[in-house]
Amino acid sequence: MNRKRALISDTFKVKKRRNGTQKFGAVNDGDGPTDVRSSLEYLMTLFPRKLFDDRLPPIVMKHQLYSVHDDKTLVDKELNKLRERGELLMFQLGFDSDAFGLVFASDYKTKVLAGEDGRPTRATVERFLEKLLCPCTELSFSKDKMLREFLFTDSEITHLVKSGVLTVRDAGSWWLSIPNSGKFTKYFLQGRKAVLGMVKKSKYSEVLKAELEERRTTSHVKFHMKYHIHDIVGAELVESIPTTSGALLRCVES
C-alpha cells in the first residue's frame, strides 16, 4: 500500500487542526476555491512570446491545468463556464484527440487581426471573429452552418482557410484554429519528447522537479521547462510524487 496514513472519510474527520503541519511537495492546499482563471494566467506567462515573434497568442494546453489543480472535473466545469462567457476559446490542435489548446479570446482577436493587417482578407476575418466571439463554444464548423447561420459565401470560406483561422477537418467541415500555430505544435512535441527523454534517462527513471528545472536544456527544448513539466504531469506521462525534498517526477511505464 502506498499510504502513510490511513484514509479517513469526511464524516469522521478530526475537527481540530494541529498548528505547523507542513504538507511537503504540494503546490496547492485544497482549502481555497479552485481559481482556474488565475492558474491560466500564470501558465500563459510561461509561454514564450518572443520565439514566435509575437505573432501567436499565448496558448495553454487544457491538461496543464490538471497538474496545478487536483480535481479534474472541477477544472473542466470552470473552463466550460469561461468558454460560455466568451472569455476563453478552445482549439483542437490535431496531434491528439484529447489535447485541447486554450487561448484568451481577447488575445486571439488582437493577434489574428494584427496578422491580417494589410491583407485583402482582413474584412472577412474580422466579420468571422465577430460572429465567433459572441459566445461560441464549438470547436469545428460544418459547411451548412457557415453558409446558413454565419452567411459566408464559398469564396469567403476559402479566404478564412487561407488566413489560417479555419483548418480542414473533412469534406465540408473545418476546425477552428490559430494561424501560424504549426510551428508551435512542432516545437511543443519536440520539447515534450526531449523532456520525457531526460526523465527516462535519469537513474531509476525519476528526477526531482526542482532538479529538472535547473538542468541545461538542449536546443530541442524551446519552451520554458516549467511549461513542459506542467504538460507531462497533466497528461499523466509522468507521475508527480510528493517527497520530503520536493516533488519527484517518475516515468509511468506503459
| Cell numbers at 172, concatenated | 465540408
- Min dist. Cβ of residue 11 to other proteins (A): 5
HSE-CB at 181 with a 13 A cutoff on CA atoms is 25
Alpha carbons 164 and 177: distance in angstroms, whole number: 7
End-to-end CA distance of the chain: 21
Q: Is residue 134 part of the contact set for other proteins (CB under 8 A)?
A: no
Residue 120 Cβ vs other proteins, minimum distance, rounded to whole Å:
29
Distance between CA atoms of residues 51 and 34, nearest Å: 31
Q: Which residue in 2, 21, 22, 244 binds other proteins (CB under 8 A)?
A: 2
Q: Any contact of residue 1 with other proteins (CB under 8 A)?
A: yes
Stretch that binds other proteins, among 21-29, 74-82, 202-210, 215-223 (CB under 8 A): 74-82
Work out the number of other CB atoms within 10 angstroms of the CB of residue 3.
6
Largest CA distance in the chain: 68
Residue 163 within binding range of other proteins, rule CB under 8 A: no
Asked if 9 is part of the footprint of other proteins (rule: CB under 8 A), the reply reads: yes
Site string for other proteins, 77-116 (x = CB under 8 A): x--------------x----xx------------------
19 binds other proteins (CB under 8 A): no
| 138 near other proteins, rule: CB under 8 A | yes
| CB neighbour list of residue 93: distance below 8 Å, 6 or more residues apart | 99, 100, 101, 181, 185
SS3 65: helix
Among 7, 33, 134, 219, binds other proteins (CB under 8 A): 7
State the amino acid at position 168 in one-letter form: V
Q: Which positions lie near other proteins, rule CB under 8 A?
A: 1-3, 6-9, 11-12, 14, 66, 70-73, 75-77, 92, 97-98, 138-142, 169-170, 173, 236, 254
